[in-house]
Every structure is written in C-alpha cells, then in structure tokens.
C-alpha cells in the first residue's frame, strides 16, 4: 500500500462524520482512535518469517454470547471501546494473564496459559488442543500473529469476513516465556520432582505390554484452569508440577488411590477402559503409559504441549 493511502486511512480512523439521515456522529474517543491506528499498523507490516509463535489473545465478541455469562452481549461500538480500553491496560504493563481471565469471551482451557495458542507452519499435522497450523485462521488473525514481535501487544479490528469473532487484543510471548511454561526445561525444584521426572522417563522407555484392553484410573493435575470442584484452583506450571510430585509420591508410597482421585482436575469419571482400536481418542501420553504398566502398578506422565497437554497424569492400572 502506498504511503499516501496509509496516511489517508490513518486520518479516517480518527474522524467522525454524518450518517445518511444527516445525524452527526461524534469522533471516537482517543483510545479507540489509537486502537484503530495500532491495528492498521500491525496489519500492514511484513510477515516476520518465523515458523512458530505463541500468542495470547483476548477476544471481545461482537453480538456474540460468551462462554462466560458474566461477559454479556456487546454491539460493535461497545466491543470496540472495551477492546481499546484493554489495549491501553496491556500497553501500560498490566498482567496479561489477569486481563484474559477478566475480559476474554473465551473461558480458560485446562493445561494452557490463559488465552494462549501456539501457531505453527511447515510442521507435521500432529496437533494439541492449543495448537493451530498456519493457514486455518481468520485472515486478520493470520496476519497479526506472524507480525507481532516477541513481548509486543497489538490489536485486531472486527470485520465480518476477516475477523468475524469480534475485536482482539493480542500479546506474543517471548522465547523465555515459552520455555518457562514447561518446568521440565529447568532443574527440578525438589527431590520429589526429580524422582517423578525420572520415573516418567523410565516408564516411557519400556516396551508396550501385550494387551488388547487396559483399564486404568488416574489423578490429573491440571494447569492454568480450575478443576471440577471449588477447592481445585488454577495452578501455574511450577505449582502444578510440585502438586503432581506430591500426589505421585503419596500414590507410590501406597496411599489410598481413590482418596487421591478427589484431587483430580479431570471432570470425567477418572476411570477408563481403553482398547487398541479406541485408545488414540485419549491423550497420547496417557494411553502410552497405560500400556506400559502392569496391573496394580503406579505410573506418571509429565506435562507436554503435544502429548500431555492438560497437565500431569498419575495413573494406576487396574486390569
């Protein structure tokens, strides 16, 4: 786009005007003008060429019901003003995780930092629930995620075709933040965590046992999102790993497994029978561990973005 055209567009985003009935429309407030300017500037940047980026998003829906009833239903102008206010807060340094919890139309997802999605391209088709491949997004989001700089905050304007979900405030994570999201990238914080990691590694190195059907029960220690009961609060990565190590140690020492299951973040039954035909409907690390355990034996799987995306599984094979 030519520089003169860009200047004209930037002028237009700041102007009011009149509608077809001659009613004067006042100019938008300064924060909305800045949101429009920032969104346009981001959309016009070149693609930075990276093959993977991790981005947090706050969606402000337009005429959409939220997954969280407290969000209400907003028209275009209300949604734009709210997105503009959030962008101001984010650029001022307010905690982005907290802003996602407070404002985003999408509720928290178990295992995933609030509002976070890993965008990849030029990789295999294997996906986790929080992973998208390049080329499957709304065009405005596709442009924005590949143009943000690490640590930068940006905005996306609502558009019926390019961004039909509403307005978005985005923040790209830094490499250090991406690394810190998995505590296994650092030294273990205590001996139980070290022992749990070693136990998981030894279990994954075993050969699968010859079984057509496996029945297991488990305790899932989730990350970032609350569990099915009020006492199971959201856990950040380091806290989740420490909690998993504590529960794994108790299970390994012979504590009542049924009692430990009360601490599980799994909203399902917690006890599962899998066959060779249907096991891949489950999380890969979960079924892989189940086929390596002997009846009555305890095992554990660590968090992994691809193979164990919800958190840590402490598993007992029943039969």
Q: Residue 222 — pLDDT band, cuts 50, 70, 90?
A: very high
Residue 251 dihedral angles phi and psi, to the nearest 5°: -65, -45
Q: Which of 78-87, 104-113, 122-131, 290-299 has the lowest mean pLDDT?
A: 122-131
Q: Residue 27 — pLDDT band, cuts 50, 70, 90?
A: confident
For 51-133, where are the alpha helices, taking DSSP H only? 76-91, 96-103
Q: Which fold has domain 183-317?
A: Chitinase A; domain 3 (3.10.50)
Res. 3: pLDDT tops 70:
no
How high is the pLDDT of residue 138? 80
- H or E element that contains 170: strand 166-172
* Same fold yes or no, 29-180 and 183-317: yes
pLDDT digits (tens, 9 = 90+) for 50-64: 888 999 999 999 988
Q: Which of 62-66, 96-100, 164-168, 282-286 has the lowest mean pLDDT?
A: 62-66
Exposure of 148 by Cβ count < 10 A (0-12 exposed, 13-18 middle, 19+ buried)? buried
Instruction: Provide the whole-model pTM.
Output: 0.83
Q: Which fold has domain 29-180?
A: Chitinase A; domain 3 (3.10.50)
Q: Residue 76 — pLDDT band, cuts 50, 70, 90?
A: very high
Answer for the pair 76, 191: CB distance below 8 angstroms, yes or no.
Answer: no
Q: Residue 189 — pLDDT band, cuts 50, 70, 90?
A: very high
Question: Residue ranges of the domains in the chain?
Answer: 29-180, 183-317
- How far is 168 from 179, CA to CA, in rounded Å? 25
């Amino acid at each position: 786009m030519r520089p003169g055209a860009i200047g004209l567009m930037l002028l237009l985003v700041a102007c009011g005007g009149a509608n077809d009935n001659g009613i004067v429309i006042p100019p938008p407030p300064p924060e909305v003008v800045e949101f429009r300017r920032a969104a346009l500037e981001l959309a016009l940047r070149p693609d930075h060429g990276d093959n993977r980026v991790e981005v947090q998003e706050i969606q402000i829906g337009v005429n959409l019901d939220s997954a969280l009833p407290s969000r209400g239903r907003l028209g275009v102008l209300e949604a734009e003003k709210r997105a503009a206010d959030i962008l101001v807060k984010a650029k001022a340094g307010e905690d982005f995780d907290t802003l996602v919890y407070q404002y985003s139309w999408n509720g928290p997802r178990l295992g995933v930092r609030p509002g976070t999605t890993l965008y990849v391209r030029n990789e295999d088709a294997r996906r986790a629930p929080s992973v998208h491949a390049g080329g499957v997004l709304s065009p405005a989001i596709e442009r924005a995620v590949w143009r943000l700089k690490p640590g930068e905050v940006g905005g996306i304007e609502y558009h019926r075709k390019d961004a039909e979900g509403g307005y978005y405030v985005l923040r790209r994570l830094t490499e250090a933040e991406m690394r810190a999201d998995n505590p296994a990238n650092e030294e273990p914080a205590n001996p139980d965590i070290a022992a749990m990691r070693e136990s998981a590694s030894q279990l994954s190195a075993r050969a699968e046992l010859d079984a057509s059907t496996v029945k297991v029960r488990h305790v899932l220690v989730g990350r970032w999102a609350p569990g099915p009961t009020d006492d199971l609060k959201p856990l950040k990565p380091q806290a989740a790993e420490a909690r998993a190590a504590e529960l794994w140690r108790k299970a390994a020492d012979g504590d009542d497994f049924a009692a430990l299951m009360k601490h599980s973040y799994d909203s399902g039954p917690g006890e599962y029978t899998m066959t060779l035909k249907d096991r891949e409907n489950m999380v890969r690390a979960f079924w892989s561990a189940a086929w390596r355990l002997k009846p009555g034996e305890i095992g554990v799987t660590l968090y992994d973005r691809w193979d164990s995306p919800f958190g840590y599984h402490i598993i007992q094979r029943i039969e």
